[in-house]
């Protein structure tokens, strides 16, 4: 064979091998590109909605938007080793704005290679401290039975020439895009703007800088002038060049002010980080016409970036195979070098940036409530409140034993998770063998707690359920420790405050005359408990002369004796005892005549000793269901119980403080069962180891006096979602970490807490409360039965005792 043929066939063989190699490389690159897309981590990114009553100065608005450029500069770090890049190309990231085919919420996403996801999250979080980033599964914009339309964005002129960016616009460019997406129907329509980008080759910066230099010299063929000017300029330059000596230096072209500004903008683009980017618009709807209209509407938002003297976007609709390929690349987030634009970080920011300025786009997804990290000093043990969740990291939140002595205040609307929060804490205290009292105004939680008591603590439970009329538990407010006569004054003061609260709607009914008669009647009854010492006897002081005389004969209080003998019994007219009796006793009759209340409050001895409950670490569960008792009866019993617990705590002065065991007092809807003495409880209870946990729904339920007492004395605060009026007040407690908007929008079973940690206030942070744990209803029923049999008395026995005492003139003396 001749050398020629040998060379020919050798060349053909080489070409075939090269073709096969190119084919295999292309297949490998296509396969790698799809594999890369499947290995992307999709991150949903949102910021708190920013509202402002006053307009932001234009320069400040632009400066805020420019923060996004830092993120793009950081995303240039997404790169692979050179040998991977040579085979599969540079890795890309995707930026998307979407509306799914079901729903109207506009969402923003960033997709990055999985191994760079954490880096991207940290970078966004460090740039936008309030950003909420959540890894999510892919969304779907396509109507399953409809049609889809697609378009790609190109540049009208050379990519060297810049677009009009946010730096030269009067408003946030994101507003136009958001408005276009806002017009998409809730069901059956979807859309997406997708930008797939990767760092551009370094040569582009040089090209742009070189072009700017050519314009300075007046000989750039891409100079932003019209064709006639370019032709004249070129002809003039050619003629001058023919007359110029070879060694004569080139003279700089004199630029007009407009040209100088254009050159400055070109140089600015070249100085920024540059990216290759595919910009795609996809729409889906029931019909192809509507899908095309959606794409057109979104594409129209890019007209704002047109600079007639420099560059502008061109929206190119796609059809046929081109559209199919574009939809495929959209779905897999594939980069297509053939349709890539060269955009600077400033131009990318103009198209896609996080909304960190006020934006009239209510459908744009926003962080409803901010998150904040827990304090560094957070305890590692104690009462577990919940879990701190911040930027995907979780940590248990605890409240220490000593800090609990400064009390915990909980506020939040109904249904937000307050009761579950309290139940979780109570169960922990019960499980740890601590003493607990819980006042439940609804009853359901008390019943659930019965079923949550572990078997080893069943005998410690006292279940006070006034609705159990068969075996009522006695509760005598006038009962006191005979070795502590000073308690009488406390009882009288507290009982008078209780009636003031109950009848506060008619303040004139609780005037000085009522107080004078009430105090002297109560003190007279309490002076000799053996001859009767309940509200029933207080009423009899006014209506039973013989009973009053017997009580006076046993009294040792000269002031009380003088009042009744020298003032009350001798008074005439309106102040006569006959006239005053109905005025006073009408306040008691409501309760003494009630079949549920009488067997409870008319018993001379309470069913249990509150001091022992505290010292022996009992579990006192109080069911004051308003639905079964009525609101007035529920409030009276609650008020009496709170007073009894406080009196028991104050009596602990007879043992050293170091020996007083903490007793945890939980009160739900505490506004119904507290008097102004709550200020004393909050300020004094700490030294007696009475630790309060108080909850209610809104601040308007509290009087100014009680509200000041709470905020002035409570060490720790937890706020679930609240109303706008409360947000204005509580915002002061949580600033600058959280705003009123956060307090309005936090989700159920989440709370903002401001804790006392080792005696020092800490920065507020957010927690997610603990989920409910299983309970045993059968065990709860057994514990209920044990409690009622141990502490309750048969109703018939109680009624018989009351009837004997109430017989006119009868005095039963217990020796």
pLDDT tens digits, one per residue of 224-246: 444 334 433 443 444 444 445 55
Domain count, the chain: 2
Is the distance from CB of 697 to CB of 388 less than 8 angstroms? no
What are the beta bridge partners of residue 753?
718, 765
Are 343 and 491 within one domain?
no
Contacts of 792 (CB under 8 A, 6+ apart): 468, 470, 471, 472, 473, 607
Looking at the domain assignment, is residue 601 inside a domain?
Answer: yes
Query: How do residues 473-514 score in pLDDT, each as one tens digit?
Result: 999 989 888 888 888 888 998 888 888 888 876 666 677 888
pLDDT at 22: 58
146: CATH: 3.40.462
Other C-beta atoms lying within 10 Å of the C-beta of residue 767: 23
Among 310, 326, 351, residue at a domain's last position? 351
Residue indicated by tokens 């729903």: 103
Is the distance from CB of 354 to CB of 95 less than 8 angstroms? no
Helix (H, G, I), strand (E, B) or coil at 166: helix
Other C-beta atoms lying within 10 Å of the C-beta of residue 9: 11
What range does the domain containing 575 cover? Answer: 478-605
Q: Are strands 760-761 and 756-757 parallel, antiparallel or unpaired?
A: antiparallel
pLDDT at 435: 97
Among 319, 351, 383, residue at a domain's last position? 351
pLDDT at 238: 45
Looking at the domain assignment, is residue 147 inside a domain?
Answer: yes
Looking at the domain assignment, is residue 231 inside a domain?
Answer: no
Are 335 and 483 within one domain?
no
Local mean pLDDT, 10-residue blocks, the chain (815 residues): 69 72 57 71 93 79 96 88 62 96 95 93 92 93 96 96 95 95 95 96 90 77 45 43 50 74 92 96 97 97 95 96 96 94 97 92 91 93 94 91 95 95 97 96 94 95 95 92 87 88 72 87 91 86 87 91 87 72 82 89 92 96 92 91 91 91 95 80 87 94 88 94 94 93 94 95 96 94 95 92 70 37
Alpha-carbon separation of residue 324 from 37, 148, 299, 328 (angstroms): 18, 9, 19, 6
pLDDT at 753: 97
Q: What's phi and psi for 508, nearest 5 deg?
A: -65, -20
Task: Return the ∠ at Cα 577 (arms to 572 and 582), rounded to 5°.
Answer: 130
pLDDT at 227: 38
Looking at the domain assignment, is residue 172 inside a domain?
Answer: yes
pLDDT at 221: 52
Among 605, 634, 651, residue at a domain's last position? 605
Are 145 and 291 within one domain?
yes
Looking at the domain assignment, is residue 560 inside a domain?
Answer: yes
Cα–chain-centroid distance for residue 468?
Answer: 40
Torsion of CA 223, 227, 230, 234, to 10 degrees: 130
Looking at the domain assignment, is residue 751 inside a domain?
Answer: no
pLDDT at 589: 82
Looking at the domain assignment, is residue 459 inside a domain?
Answer: no
pLDDT at 224: 47
Are 133 and 277 within one domain?
yes
Are 334 and 483 within one domain?
no
Residue indicated by tokens 């998409």: 184
Looking at the domain assignment, is residue 142 inside a domain?
Answer: yes
Is the distance from CB of 111 to CB of 96 less than 8 angstroms? yes
pLDDT at 811: 43
- CA nearest neighbour of 49 among 397, 489, 359: 359
């Amino acid at each position: 064979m001749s050398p020629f043929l040998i060379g020919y066939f050798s060349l053909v063989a080489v070409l075939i091998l090269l073709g096969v190699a190119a084919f295999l490389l292309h297949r490998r690159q296509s396969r790698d590109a799809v594999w890369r897309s499947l290995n992307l981590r999709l991150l949903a990114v949102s910021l708190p909605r920013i509202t402002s009553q006053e307009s932001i100065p234009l320069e400040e608005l632009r400066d805020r938007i420019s923060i996004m450029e830092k993120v793009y500069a950081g995303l240039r770090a997404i790169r692979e080793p050179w040998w991977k890049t040579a085979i599969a190309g540079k890795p890309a990231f995707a930026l998307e704005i979407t509306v799914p085919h079901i729903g109207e919420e506009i969402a923003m996403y960033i997709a990055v290679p999985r191994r760079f996801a954490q880096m991207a999250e940290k970078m966004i979080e460090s740039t936008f401290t309030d950003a909420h980033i959540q890894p999510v599964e892919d969304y779907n914009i396509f109507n399953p039975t409809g049609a889809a339309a697609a378009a790609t964005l190109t540049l009208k002129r050379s990519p060297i020439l810049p677009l009009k960016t946010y730096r030269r616009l009067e408003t946030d460019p994101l507003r136009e895009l958001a408005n276009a997406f806002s017009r998409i129907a809730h069901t059956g329509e979807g859309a997406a703007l997708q930008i797939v980008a990767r760092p551009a080759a370094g040569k582009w910066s040089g090209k742009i800088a070189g072009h700017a230099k050519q314009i300075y010299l007046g000989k750039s063929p891409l100079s932003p002038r019209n064709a006639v000017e370019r032709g004249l300029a070129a002809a003039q330059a050619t003629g001058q060049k023919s007359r110029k000596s070879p060694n004569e230096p080139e003279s700089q072209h004199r630029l007009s002010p407009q040209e100088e500004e254009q050159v400055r903008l070109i140089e600015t683009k070249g100085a920024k980080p540059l990216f290759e980017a595919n910009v795609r618009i996809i729409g889906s709807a029931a019909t192809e016409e509507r899908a095309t209209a959606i794409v057109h509407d979104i594409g129209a938002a890019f007209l704002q970036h047109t600079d007639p003297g420099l560059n502008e976007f061109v929206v190119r609709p796609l059809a046929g195979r081109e559209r199919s390929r574009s939809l495929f690349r959209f779905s897999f987030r594939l980069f297509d070098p053939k349709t890539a634009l060269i955009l600077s970080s400033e131009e990318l920011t103009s198209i896609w940036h996080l909304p960190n300025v006020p934006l009239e786009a209510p459908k744009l997804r926003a962080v409803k409530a901010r998150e904040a990290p827990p304090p560094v000093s957070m305890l590692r043990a104690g009462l577990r409140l919940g879990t701190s969740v911040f930027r995907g990291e979780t940590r248990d939140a605890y409240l220490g034993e000593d800090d609990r002595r400064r009390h915990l205040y909980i506020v939040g609307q109904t249904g937000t998770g307050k009761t579950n929060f309290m139940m979780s804490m109570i169960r922990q205290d019960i499980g740890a063998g601590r003493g607990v009292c819980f006042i439940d105004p609804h009853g359901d939680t008390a019943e659930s707690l019965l079923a949550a008591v572990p078997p080893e603590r069943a005998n410690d439970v006292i279940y006070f359920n006034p609705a159990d009329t068969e075996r009522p538990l006695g509760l005598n407010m006038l009962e006191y420790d005979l070795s502590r006569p000073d308690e009488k004054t406390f009882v009288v003061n507290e009982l008078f405050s209780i009636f003031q609260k109950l009848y506060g709607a008619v303040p004139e009914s609780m005037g000085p005359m009522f107080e004078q008669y009430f105090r002297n009647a109560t003190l007279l009854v309490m002076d000799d408990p053996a001859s009767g010492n309940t509200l029933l006897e207080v009423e009899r002081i006014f209506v039973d002369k013989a009973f009053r005389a017997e009580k006076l004969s046993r009294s040792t209080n000269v002031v009380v004796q003088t009042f009744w003998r020298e003032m009350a019994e001798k008074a005439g007219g309106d102040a006569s005892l006959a006239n005053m009796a109905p005025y006073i006793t009408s306040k008691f009759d409501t309760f003494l005549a009630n079949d549920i209340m009488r067997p409870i409050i008319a018993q001379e001895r309470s069913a249990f000793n509150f001091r022992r409950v505290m010292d022996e670490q009992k579990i006192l569960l109080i069911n004051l269901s308003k639905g079964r008792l009525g609101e007035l009866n529920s409030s009276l019993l609650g008020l009496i119980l709170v007073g009894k617990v406080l009196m028991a705590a104050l009596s602990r002065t007879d043992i050293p403080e170091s020996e007083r065991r903490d007793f945890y007092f939980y009160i739900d809807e505490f506004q119904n069962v507290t008097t102004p003495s709550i200020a004393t409880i909050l300020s004094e209870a700490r030294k007696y180891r009475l630790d309060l946990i108080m909850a209610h729904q809104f601040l308007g339920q509290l009087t100014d006096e009680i509200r000041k007492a709470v905020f002035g004395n409570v060490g720790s605060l937890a706020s679930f979602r609240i109303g706008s009026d409360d947000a204005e007040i509580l915002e002061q407690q949580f600033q600058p970490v959280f705003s009123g908007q956060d307090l309005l929008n936090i989700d159920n079973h989440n709370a903002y807490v401001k804790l006392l940690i080792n005696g020092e206030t800490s920065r507020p942070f957010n927690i997610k409360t603990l989920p409910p744990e299983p309970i045993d209803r059968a065990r709860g029923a057994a514990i209920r039965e044990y409690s009622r049999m141990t502490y309750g008395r048969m109703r018939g026995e109680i009624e018989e005792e009351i009837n004997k005492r109430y017989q006119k003139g009868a005095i039963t003396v217990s020796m």
